[in-house]
Structure 1
Amino acid sequence: MDTSIPIESPSLSRRQLLNFITGATVAATAGAALYPAGKFFIAPGEKTGAGGAILAKDILGKQIPASQILAEPPQSRALVAGLAGEPTYLIVKEDRTLDHIGLVDNCTHLGCTFPWNALDQQFQCPCHGSRYAPDGAVVRGPAPLPLKIVQVAVIDNSILISPWTETDPRTGKKPWWV
């Protein structure tokens, strides 16, 4: 009769342990390298306020204080980055306040951006000749629709831009972009 005690083999062999350690090391290294790359390619989420409002920003993504825009002469148009980064014109009124309506700088014909022509008091698209009145209504085609508008509010020297969902004041109809 055999009186020796059987020795059980370990549950994890030396080879399995080394394979596990090697795999964990490779996974940690790859994760550490891919995290910054992922942060680079994924745009940061924008903080929005009530009704989807965002802060007006400059071309570099820095917040623009209202005092900077209001320092411009009356009836001037200031171009800022608005909703979804779309270029948006803000209008300084005669009483040195911002108009509650901003105009998105995208031609409704083919989406071109265009300058404000202070001499003619029009927005003029250089690509195909569309012209818009100071309120964004079409003066001359081929643009089929008025410019998209946004709501503008100033709170504590911050400019908030939010989507326009009410009736379009230029046409008296539901906005075409809603």
Structure 2
Amino acid sequence: MQDSFSYSNPSMSRRKLLNFLTGAAVAASAGGALYPAAKYFVPPKESDSSDGAILAKDKLGHVIPASQILSEPVGTRALIAGLAGEPTYLTVKANGTLDDRGIVNNCTHLGCTFPWNGRDEQFQCPCHGSRYSPDGSVVRGPADRPLKLVRVRVEDNRIWIAPWTDIDPRTGAKPWWV
């Protein structure tokens, strides 16, 4: 019987088999317990679009319909929660549409938020006195950079906000925030 196999040295002993099954059970249990914890610490994806656009929302996270902002008077600066939750101003133009540029409400000096002063037609930072023109250019320091821009588009009564990655039209150079 030269064609028979030897049973004296099996490839895996019972002990190795039980160790393998125990390790697999522990790994499956640990993975099942750690998956929800890992999911909790990974932020949700905000956008599925290729340009990174998200829907404009209010401070509570509710989507804002375009008709709500467009019903405001011409020149209104509506404050919304934009990209990464940053407060962003949207402007109603004279033709009843939204300006294609939104201005992020973070002072470039120290990151303060600031109001729009309709009487002076400026964004005025109350912390250190920086002033910005209606397009976000610096009028008076200590801020030395213009405000960040975002791209705004309206589709089907929804406002989409996307990162601004093109040349900054105010400076003619690559944006400092890209």
TM-score range, shorter chain: 0.7 to 0.9
Matched residue, 1:3: none
Shift of 1:166: 4.2
Shift of 1:11: 3.6
Matched residue, 2:173: 174
Q: What secondary structure is seen at the aligned counterpart in 2 of 1:88?
A: strand
Within-5 A mapping of 1:95-110: 95-110=95-110
Within-5 A mapping of 1:44-83: 44-83=44-83
1:132-153 deviations in whole A, cap 9, x for unaligned? Answer: 1222122221111221222211
**Distance change (3 Å), C-alpha of 1:21 and 1:144:** same
Shift of 1:71: 3.1
Matched residue, 2:19: 19
| RMSD (CA atoms) | 2.6
Shift of 1:43: 1.3
| Structure 1 residue runs of 4 or more that deviate by more than 6 Å after TM superposition | none
- Larger deviation: 154-163 or 35-44? 154-163
Letter paired with 1:68: Q
**Distance change (3 Å), C-alpha of 1:119 and 1:165:** same
Q: Is the 8 A contact 2:165 2:175 kept in 1?
A: no
Matched residue, 1:37: 37
The answer to whether 1:139 aligns with 2:139 is yes
Where do 5+ consecutive residues of structure 2 fail to align? 1-5
Shift of 1:118: 3.3
Letter paired with 2:45: G
Letter paired with 2:175: W
Shift of 1:119: 4.1
CA distance in 1, matches of 2:136, 2:16: 70
1:46-72 deviations in whole A, cap 9, x for unaligned? Answer: 324354433223334443321232233
Q: Is the 8 A contact 2:65 2:158 kept in 1?
A: yes
Where do 5+ consecutive residues of structure 1 fail to align? 1-5
**Distance change (3 Å), C-alpha of 1:7 and 1:104:** closer
Q: Matched residue pairs, number?
A: 173
CA distance in 1, matches of 2:23, 2:36: 21
- Larger deviation: 10-19 or 99-108? 10-19
Shift of 1:81: 2.7
Matched residue, 1:93: 93
Matched residue, 2:163: 163
